Structure 1
């Protein structure tokens, strides 16, 4: 339910990474997520932080993630 409310708000800020960022934010405690929904400035800050994390993931980490997913599908 929180994701359904949070996703459109995140999408307005960061269209391309909205799904991934929303997932990251939903890992936070519920009161923190509720605060983000109520505070556009706090949400912008957290979205920017999440995008920084995503940009700084090394290509090796991304490849490891892909290979793990491939093994799960087999």
Structure 2
């Protein structure tokens, strides 16, 4: 398993965690003013999603720039 596969799986896992923290935030807001821990809990997964997503977005371009294999199917 290479680093790209591990990072892609981690990105998916963090996306689920982020979604659950946002849902928990809205549920807590339905019952009044939530504590600061609940309000700011989605920020850590959000930043992890930002960095892993940017890496996954740029990865094919860097591979092509370095002269790696062509990612598109050859005709």
Same fold (TM over 0.5): no
What is the TM-score of this pair, normalised by structure 2?
0.33
What is the TM-score of this pair, normalised by structure 1?
0.33
> Whose relative contact order is higher, 1 or 2, with alpha carbons under 8 Å and at least 6 apart?
2
Structure with the greater alpha carbon radius of gyration:
2
